[in-house]
Structure 1
Amino acid sequence: MLSATILLSPGVHAQVEMLDRIVAVVNDGVIMESELQERVDEIAAQFRGDNRPLPPREVLREQVLDRVILERLQLQMAERAGIRVDDGALNQALSGIARQNNMTLQQFADALRADGYDWSRFREQVRGEMVVSRLQQRSVASRVRVTDREVQRFLESETGRQMFQADFHLGHILVKVPGNASPEQVSAAQEEAEALVRRLRDGADFAETAVSESDGPEALEGGDLGWREAAQWPSLFADAAIDMNKGDISEPLRSGAGFHILKMIDRRGGGAEKVVTQYQVRHVLVRADTLTSEEQARAEINRVHDQVASGELSFAEAAAEHSDDPGSGRQGGELGWVTPGEMVPEFEQMMVETPPGQLSPVFESQFGWHFLRVEETREADMSDQLRELQARKALQKRRFDEELQTWLQEQRAEAYVDIRLQS
């Protein structure tokens, strides 16, 4: 009786408050208010650090929630597919980030802590980004095919010659159109995009407009897509941007995702350098198959890696006895001289970040589990060969980006998402 009286007391009721709640359900997982608020606070801090005005609070929350939903969906898919990033691969990636900032890993961690970041949480965010990247490579790369004939046609075309002469720094705003949109919805989206173009050409700030209006994944970065060789942009963007000058705003560009608006933030003369760094590389590959699970493949590559690291096996012996790459396995894992652009991104990143003579940690690509050793490096004049490699890489990058957006839309449409965000 006494307990009931206390619980029903008006004074006590005034102190009861909601500590946390669900703001979205994504398949069989949830996103909590506290998680969303943490991400919103991080983005807001970045805006303040860059001296950019914050968008309205509700706009920022909606943009961040949409990003978190897409991340959560991909992490769920990766978990079901058995995609993992171990601590060795994570530390290697973090060391690479530290080197880009001219720091050791410890210095980088100390600098983040000094800026108020939780180092453990930062590590897990990077791990999540790596997992998502591996999922995208595995799911989307198989859709991308570039033939020798396509490379030659591209190099011989006027567009190809022009595109190798410039690098673009683009801004991007997307007005999304649903996959099953009615003609009225398409027309309304086009009118919205045209109105945005008029606002931008009349002097509206592009970054602020992107944050508040864009449906693109980079909206919270002000629509900034960064620098890229002209040939590596999606063809829709490249064809429009090739004749744009610094500061120009494009007309709305229609794609399956909706209407795109580009800004030429800057452009500079390009052209491939003839002299490039090549890497003499050995590797061991272990892949899962009908008889070997992902867990077994990973355990096997780690066991072989430890044997090579301890000197129990030479690299050549390990490759000959255990590698599932028959071509290089018979050669002691030798891949010869490798030029950047020839290998899948995970392999190339590890190759570039591993000092000559040292053994890399175990890492995963779309082909399976690897470790490698860079025997030595050299500078080589590639001329036409480099041009062909860069053309192929540019076409692959262009098609990967196009396919990625289509794939993301498909996954988002197929997922169960219940948004419970309240004003």
Structure 2
Amino acid sequence: MPDAKHVLGTLFATLLMLMPLTSNAKVEMLDRIVAVVNDGAIMASELDERINIIALQFQERDQPLPPPAVMREQVLDRMILERVQLQLADRGGIKVDEASLNQALAGIARQNNMTLEGFAAALQQDGYDWPQFREQIREDMIISRLQQRSVASRIRVTDREVDRFLESEMGKQMFQEDFHLGHILVRVPAGASPEEVQAATSKVNSIEARLNQGEDFHQLAISQSDGPKALEGGDLGWRPAAQWPTLFSEAALQLEKGEISAPIRSGAGFHILKMIDRRGGAEKVVTQYQVSHVLIKADALTSNEQARDQATRLQDQVASGAADFATIAAEYSDDPGSARNGGELGWVSRGEMVPEFEEMMLNTPQGEVSPVFETQFGWHFLQLQGTRDADMSEEFRRMQAMQALQKRRFEEELEIWVQEQRSESYVDIRL
């Protein structure tokens, strides 16, 4: 990966090329509203800033930029969906505190082999807006928490469903391989009229015909897809086969590397998939994490702010060495199962804990005490005792099946939920 200074030097060269030339004899309006979203607005300057960031990502991958009109439309659509969700999160009181944000940023810095201070300094040295970068990460975290609260918390998978899945032929096949999929979505709005459905059908048939004639999937996804990864060429990345939405996995099982599916209809619209690659079939070795935590819940007698303050006081005692983690957990933690064992949760694997907990677990150095953070269960702080590599046991296989079914349903429900929120919102595009 290029270092931050090289990347940001390239960014500003790109920005200079993208900026329109102006004349001293002419004064132009530098900002205007490009979209109204409920009681908020997206300004042209915000849109231009986001476009410039995405242009850098294209440049890092040595990919040509889409036509400017396509880029603006795709980026604005993404920003509208983000704004709708941030407004919902604000009304629901969902926030990300400074400690949680700093921990997430420290994780990003470690992925780039830098300290948080060094990462921030490198960005600022090249003129990058560090506070703006922080706020973008904060917004991403807030949206993730909103989605977990609104969608994931309603999804339930029973032991019987896991048994049926593991015994099915599809379940056996899907645990044998990982898929790397490309995706094109032609959106059909919630409550669409027959004319809108017909227009979407015509569009997806036209895209399918162009693909069959040899046009590039990546470029068509950028210019035609309504999916969340359109600007990435529809690249959804690698994932165990069992974790794809049911419609995707059923179609993907039949595809060889490089093949493209026929259009698939779902509640969100029409999908076309490309099997970019597939791999696997052997038993997997997984990394597991030995972790302990303290949980403080709000209740009828304790407000959310009081619970947070208590968790902060206890974390300070442990982090300073004034108190032992296990002792504090046994005396104060509101998780009775782990409190009896000094807060120990045993060995856990990725995907086993809620996202906020997993993110903190992965970003906390071994032996250190994490900052206080919030999940749907309350306020926590944790300590990572160690990691190990473990063979894929039958117990782990069941857990993977449970997670796969949950993730599959989450993705199916999330796509529909996001589009419902947009259809129920007032959006006025003024490009």
- Residue 242 of structure 2 corresponds to residue 231 of structure 1: yes
Corresponding residue for residue 324 of structure 2: 314
Q: Which 5+ residue runs of structure 2 have no aligned equivalent?
A: 1-24
Query: Secondary structure at the residue paired with 2:65?
Result: coil
Find 2:130's aligned residue among 92, 111, 119: 119
Deviation of 1:118 (Å): 2.7
After superposition, the Cα gap between the structure-2 partners of 1:127 and 1:30, relative to the gap in structure 1 and judged at 3 Å, is same
Deviation of 1:116 (Å): 5.8
Does the Cα contact within 8 Å between 1:53 and 1:208 map onto a contact in 2? no
Amino acid at match of 1:206: F
After superposition, the Cα gap between the structure-2 partners of 1:126 and 1:203, relative to the gap in structure 1 and judged at 3 Å, is same
TM-superposition CA deviations, 1:236-258 (whole Å, max 9, x none)? 00100111111111100000000
Give the distance between the partners of 1:260 and 1:154, measured in 2 at CA: 24
Deviation of 1:369 (Å): 1.5
Q: How does 1:372-411 map to 2 (within 5 A)?
A: 372-411=382-421
Q: How does 1:88-167 map to 2 (within 5 A)?
A: 88-113=99-124, 117-167=128-178
Corresponding residue for residue 171 of structure 1: 182
Query: Secondary structure at the residue paired with 1:109?
Result: helix
TM-superposition CA deviations, 1:314-372 (whole Å, max 9, x none)? 22332233322222223322223333332222222322332332211112222121111
Does the Cα contact within 8 Å between 1:169 and 1:267 map onto a contact in 2? yes
After superposition, the Cα gap between the structure-2 partners of 1:379 and 1:215, relative to the gap in structure 1 and judged at 3 Å, is closer
Over the matched positions of the two proteins, sequence identity in percent amounts to: 69
After superposition, the Cα gap between the structure-2 partners of 1:267 and 1:110, relative to the gap in structure 1 and judged at 3 Å, is farther
Corresponding residue for residue 39 of structure 1: 50
Does the Cα contact within 8 Å between 2:289 and 2:349 map onto a contact in 1? yes
Stretches of 4+ aligned residues off by more than 6 angstroms: none
Deviation of 1:272 (Å): 4.2
Corresponding residue for residue 231 of structure 2: 220
Find 1:353's aligned residue among 347, 363, 366: 363
Corresponding residue for residue 308 of structure 2: 298
Give the distance between the partners of 2:251 and 2:288, measured in 1 at CA: 34
Amino acid at match of 1:169: H
Corresponding residue for residue 264 of structure 1: 275
Does the Cα contact within 8 Å between 2:296 and 2:333 map onto a contact in 1? yes
Give the distance between the partners of 1:311 and 1:77, measured in 2 at CA: 40
Structure 1, 251-260 or 172-181: larger mean CA deviation: 172-181
Amino acid at match of 2:260: I
After superposition, the Cα gap between the structure-2 partners of 1:288 and 1:30, relative to the gap in structure 1 and judged at 3 Å, is farther
Corresponding residue for residue 248 of structure 1: 259
Q: Which 5+ residue runs of structure 1 have no aligned equivalent?
A: 1-13
TM-superposition CA deviations, 1:371-403 (whole Å, max 9, x none)? 111233344444211211111111111111111
Give the distance between the partners of 2:407 and 2:355, measured in 1 at CA: 11
Query: Secondary structure at the residue paired with 2:151?
Result: helix
Does the Cα contact within 8 Å between 1:257 and 1:405 map onto a contact in 2? yes
After superposition, the Cα gap between the structure-2 partners of 1:72 and 1:93, relative to the gap in structure 1 and judged at 3 Å, is same
Give the distance between the partners of 1:339 and 1:90, measured in 2 at CA: 23
Does the Cα contact within 8 Å between 2:283 and 2:392 map onto a contact in 1? no
Query: Secondary structure at the residue paired with 1:52?
Result: coil
TM-superposition CA deviations, 1:41-87 (whole Å, max 9, x none)? 22223223323222222221111111111111212222222222222
Does the Cα contact within 8 Å between 1:194 and 1:251 map onto a contact in 2? no
Query: Secondary structure at the residue paired with 1:149?
Result: helix
Find 2:36's aligned residue among 13, 25, 32: 25
Amino acid at match of 1:166: E
Give the distance between the partners of 2:381 and 2:244, measured in 1 at CA: 31
- Output the aligned Cα RMSD: 2.1
Does the Cα contact within 8 Å between 1:229 and 1:270 map onto a contact in 2? no
Amino acid at match of 1:415: S
Structure 1, 286-295 or 301-310: larger mean CA deviation: 286-295
Give the distance between the partners of 2:390 and 2:345, measured in 1 at CA: 17
After superposition, the Cα gap between the structure-2 partners of 1:290 and 1:209, relative to the gap in structure 1 and judged at 3 Å, is farther
Give the distance between the partners of 1:355 and 1:54, measured in 2 at CA: 39
Give the distance between the partners of 2:173 and 2:126, measured in 1 at CA: 44
Corresponding residue for residue 199 of structure 2: 188
Give the distance between the partners of 1:238 and 1:114, measured in 2 at CA: 46
Q: TM-score, with normalisation over the residues of structure 1?
A: 0.90
Give the distance between the partners of 1:101 and 1:149, measured in 2 at CA: 43
Give the distance between the partners of 2:29 and 2:391, measured in 1 at CA: 65
After superposition, the Cα gap between the structure-2 partners of 1:344 and 1:56, relative to the gap in structure 1 and judged at 3 Å, is same
- Residue 344 of structure 2 corresponds to residue 364 of structure 1: no
Does the Cα contact within 8 Å between 1:272 and 1:387 map onto a contact in 2? no
TM-superposition CA deviations, 1:246-296 (whole Å, max 9, x none)? 1111100000000001111111124441x4333332211123344433333
- Residue 54 of structure 2 corresponds to residue 48 of structure 1: no
Structure 1, 71-80 or 258-267: larger mean CA deviation: 71-80
Does the Cα contact within 8 Å between 1:22 and 1:33 map onto a contact in 2? yes
Structure 1, 362-371 or 251-260: larger mean CA deviation: 362-371
TM-superposition CA deviations, 1:129-175 (whole Å, max 9, x none)? 11111111121111211111111111111111111111111111111
